[in-house]
Structure 1
Amino acid sequence: MKHLLPSLLATSLFLTAAPLLSSAPAQAAPAAASTTKTPAASLPVEQFTLPNGLKVYLSRNPAKPRFYAQVVINAGSKQDPADATGIAHYLEHMLFKGSDEMGTQNFAKEKALLDKITALYEQHFQSKDPAQRKELLKQINVLTVEASQYAIPGELDSIYARLGAEGLNAYTSNEETVYLVDMPSNRLEQWAKVESERFKDPVFRLFQSELETVYEEKNISMDDKDDLLWEAVAAQLYKKHPYGQQTTLGTVEHLKNPSLQKMYAFYHQYYVPNNMALVISGDIDLAATRKLVEKYFGVWQKRPVPPFEVAKETPLRQREQIDVNYKGEEKVMLAFPTVAYGHPDHDTLTLIDMLLDSGDFGLIKLNLVQTQQLRAAGSSPWSNRDYGSEHLYAIPREGQSLAEAEKLLLQELEKVKQGKFDEKHLQGIALDYEISLKRRLESNQGRAALISESFLKGQSLEYLLSAPARFKKISKAQVVAAAQKYFGNHYVAGYRHDKEYSFPKIEKPELGKMSLSPNQRSAFAQAVENVNPAPIQPRWVDYNKDFKISAFAPGVLFHTAVNPNNDLFDFTVSYDYGDKHQPGFCTVMDDLNFAGTGKDKAADVARRFFEMGVKASFSCGDYGFLMRLQGLDSQFEPALKLGEAVLWNAQLDEERFQAKLQNLLSDRADEKKDPKTLRQALRNYIRYGEKSGFIDRPSAAELKKLNSLSYSSFRDQLRKQNFKLYYTGQLPRDQVEKLLHAHHQPTQITVPLLNPRQAPELALLNRNSQAVKIYFLDNPSVQSQIDLVIPGQSVKPEEMLLNSFYNEYMDGGMGAVMFQEVREARALAYSTWSYYLQGSRLGDQDQMMGYIGTQADKTVEALKLFVTLMKSPPKSASHFERAMRALENRYRSEVIDYTGVLGRFQYWSDLGLDKDPRPEEFSRLPKLTLDQLFDYLNQKVASQPLTFTVVGDKTKIDLKALQTLGEVEEIKVESLFKD
Structure 2
Amino acid sequence: NVAICMAGDFDPDKVVATIDKYFGSWKKSDNVVYPQFPVQKNLTSPASSTVIGKEADNIMMAWKMDGAAALQNDTLEVISSILNNGKAGLLDLNINQPMRCQAAQAFNYAMRDYSQFIIVGMPNEGQSLDEVKSLILAEIEKLKKGEFSDKLLPAIVNNMKLDFLRSLDDNEKRADAYVNTFINGRDWQTEVQKFDRIAAMTKQQIVDFARRHFTDGYAIVYKKQGEDASQKKIDKPSITAIPTNRDMQSAFVKEIKDSKVEPIQPRFLDFKTDFTQTKTKRALPVYYIQNKQNQLFNLAYYFEMGEEANKWLPYAKNYFDYLGTDKMSAKQVQERFYQLACEYNISVSNSNMVISLRGLGDNMQEAMTLMESVINHAKVDRDAYRKFVEQELKSRRDNKLSQKANFRALQQYGEFGAYNSFRNIPDSAELVNTNPQTLVDMIGNLKNYKHSIIYYGPLSEKQLVATIDKNHAVAKSPADVPAGRPYTMQQTPTNEIWIAPYEAKNIYMVQYHNEGQKWNPEDEAKIEVFNEYFGGGMNGVVFQELRESRGLAYSAFANYATPRRKGNPNYAFTYIISQNDKMMDCIRVFSNILDTLPQTPAAFELAKQATIKRIASERITKDDIIYSYLAAKQRGIDYDLRRKVYEQLPTLTLEDIVKFENENMARKPWRYLILGDEKNLDIKALEKIAPIKRISTEDIFGY
Give the TM bin, normalised by the shorter chain. Answer: over 0.9
Contact 1:555 1:751 in 2 (8 A): no
Q: Relative to structure 1, is the Cα distance of residues 551 and 845 closer, same or farther in structure 2, using a 3 angstrom cutoff?
A: farther
Contact 1:860 1:958 in 2 (8 A): yes
Q: Give the residue type in structure 1 aligned to 2:625.
A: V
The equivalent of 1:589 in structure 2 is: 317
Scaled by the length of structure 2, the TM-score of the pair is: 0.94
Contact 1:837 1:848 in 2 (8 A): yes
The equivalent of 1:798 in structure 2 is: 522
The equivalent of 1:385 in structure 2 is: 112
Question: Which sections of structure 2, spanning at least 5 residues, go unmatched?
Answer: none
Q: Give the residue type in structure 2 aligned to 1:849.
A: F
Q: Relative to structure 1, is the Cα distance of residues 789 and 360 closer, same or farther in structure 2, using a 3 angstrom cutoff?
A: farther
The equivalent of 1:284 in structure 2 is: 10
The equivalent of 2:67 in structure 1 is: 340
1:787 aligned to 492, 510, 516, which one? 510
How far off is 1:643 after superposition?
A: 1.3
Alignment of 1:286-685 (within 5 A): 286-300=12-26, 302-501=29-228, 505=233, 507-552=235-280, 556-685=284-413
Q: Give the residue type in structure 1 aligned to 2:145.
A: Q
Distance 1:292 1:932 in 2: 37
Contact 2:501 2:677 in 1 (8 A): yes
How far off is 1:413 after superposition?
A: 1.1
Contact 2:308 2:487 in 1 (8 A): no
1:741 aligned to 434, 457, 469, which one? 469
- Residues 473-504 of structure 1 show CA distances to partners (whole Å, capped at 9, x for unaligned) of 11111111112222232322221112113556
The equivalent of 1:968 in structure 2 is: 692
Q: Give the residue type in structure 2 aligned to 1:927.
A: T
Q: Relative to structure 1, is the Cα distance of residues 971 and 462 closer, same or farther in structure 2, using a 3 angstrom cutoff?
A: same
Q: Give the residue type in structure 2 aligned to 1:634.
A: D
Alignment of 1:43-82 (within 5 A): none
The equivalent of 1:705 in structure 2 is: 433
Distance 2:117 2:4 in 1: 31
Distance 2:99 2:694 in 1: 38
How far off is 1:884 after superposition?
A: 2.5
How far off is 1:831 after superposition?
A: 2.0
Contact 2:322 2:384 in 1 (8 A): no
2:280 counterpart SS class = strand
Confirm or deny that 1:845 pairs with 2:569.
Answer: yes
Confirm or deny that 1:833 pairs with 2:574.
Answer: no
Distance 1:537 1:312 in 2: 52
- Residues 274-320 of structure 1 show CA distances to partners (whole Å, capped at 9, x for unaligned) of x2211122233333333332332244462512452332233322223
- Residues 828-863 of structure 1 show CA distances to partners (whole Å, capped at 9, x for unaligned) of 223211112221121233321221111222111112
Q: Give the residue type in structure 2 aligned to 1:834.
A: A
1:910 aligned to 631, 634, 644, which one? 634
Distance 2:431 2:232 in 1: 40
- Residues 879-929 of structure 1 show CA distances to partners (whole Å, capped at 9, x for unaligned) of 332232223333333332225211211111111222223333333333333
Confirm or deny that 1:925 pairs with 2:675.
Answer: no
Q: Give the residue type in structure 2 aligned to 1:576.
A: E
How far off is 1:397 after superposition?
A: 0.4
Q: Relative to structure 1, is the Cα distance of residues 489 and 534 closer, same or farther in structure 2, using a 3 angstrom cutoff?
A: closer
Q: Relative to structure 1, is the Cα distance of residues 749 and 821 closer, same or farther in structure 2, using a 3 angstrom cutoff?
A: farther
Distance 2:406 2:296 in 1: 40
Distance 2:33 2:263 in 1: 45
Q: Give the residue type in structure 2 aligned to 1:783.
A: N
- Residues 658-697 of structure 1 show CA distances to partners (whole Å, capped at 9, x for unaligned) of 1010111111112221100111111111222221333332
Question: Which sections of structure 1, spanning at least 5 residues, go unmatched?
Answer: 1-274
Distance 2:181 2:694 in 1: 53
Aligned CA RMSD, in angstroms, stands at: 2.3
After TM superposition, the structure 1 stretch with the greater mean CA deviation from structure 2, 645-654 or 414-423, is: 645-654
Q: Relative to structure 1, is the Cα distance of residues 749 and 310 closer, same or farther in structure 2, using a 3 angstrom cutoff?
A: farther
Contact 2:51 2:223 in 1 (8 A): yes
- Residues 561-599 of structure 1 show CA distances to partners (whole Å, capped at 9, x for unaligned) of 233432211111111223332332321222223321222
How far off is 1:389 after superposition?
A: 2.9
How far off is 1:442 after superposition?
A: 1.1
Contact 2:534 2:542 in 1 (8 A): yes
Q: Give the residue type in structure 2 aligned to 1:381.
A: N
Contact 1:335 1:492 in 2 (8 A): yes
- Residues 113-167 of structure 1 show CA distances to partners (whole Å, capped at 9, x for unaligned) of xxxxxxxxxxxxxxxxxxxxxxxxxxxxxxxxxxxxxxxxxxxxxxxxxxxxxxx
Contact 1:504 1:782 in 2 (8 A): no
Contact 1:442 1:565 in 2 (8 A): no
Distance 1:722 1:943 in 2: 47
1:648 counterpart SS class = helix
Q: How many residues align?
A: 700
How far off is 1:555 after superposition?
A: 6.1
How far off is 1:440 after superposition?
A: 1.2
Q: Give the residue type in structure 1 aligned to 2:694.
A: E
Contact 1:788 1:849 in 2 (8 A): yes
Scaled by the length of structure 1, the TM-score of the pair is: 0.68
Distance 2:443 2:7 in 1: 46
Q: Relative to structure 1, is the Cα distance of residues 880 and 307 closer, same or farther in structure 2, using a 3 angstrom cutoff?
A: closer
Distance 2:372 2:133 in 1: 37
How far off is 1:398 after superposition?
A: 0.4
The equivalent of 1:726 in structure 2 is: 454
Q: Give the residue type in structure 1 aligned to 2:376.
A: W
Distance 1:656 1:575 in 2: 27
Contact 1:786 1:863 in 2 (8 A): no
The equivalent of 1:889 in structure 2 is: 613
Distance 2:343 2:530 in 1: 39
How far off is 1:408 after superposition?
A: 0.8
Q: Give the residue type in structure 2 aligned to 1:647.
A: I
After TM superposition, the structure 1 stretch with the greater mean CA deviation from structure 2, 448-457 or 966-975, is: 966-975
- Residues 719-778 of structure 1 show CA distances to partners (whole Å, capped at 9, x for unaligned) of 33221211112221211111011111211655533224x4322236xx6x54x3222233
Q: Give the residue type in structure 1 aligned to 2:684.
A: K
The equivalent of 2:683 in structure 1 is: 959
Q: Relative to structure 1, is the Cα distance of residues 507 and 961 closer, same or farther in structure 2, using a 3 angstrom cutoff?
A: farther
1:322 counterpart SS class = strand
Confirm or deny that 1:869 pairs with 2:593.
Answer: yes
Distance 1:443 1:914 in 2: 27
Distance 1:623 1:537 in 2: 35
How far off is 1:553 after superposition?
A: 5.5
How far off is 1:409 after superposition?
A: 0.8
Q: Relative to structure 1, is the Cα distance of residues 855 and 506 closer, same or farther in structure 2, using a 3 angstrom cutoff?
A: farther
1:413 counterpart SS class = helix
Q: Relative to structure 1, is the Cα distance of residues 654 and 568 closer, same or farther in structure 2, using a 3 angstrom cutoff?
A: same
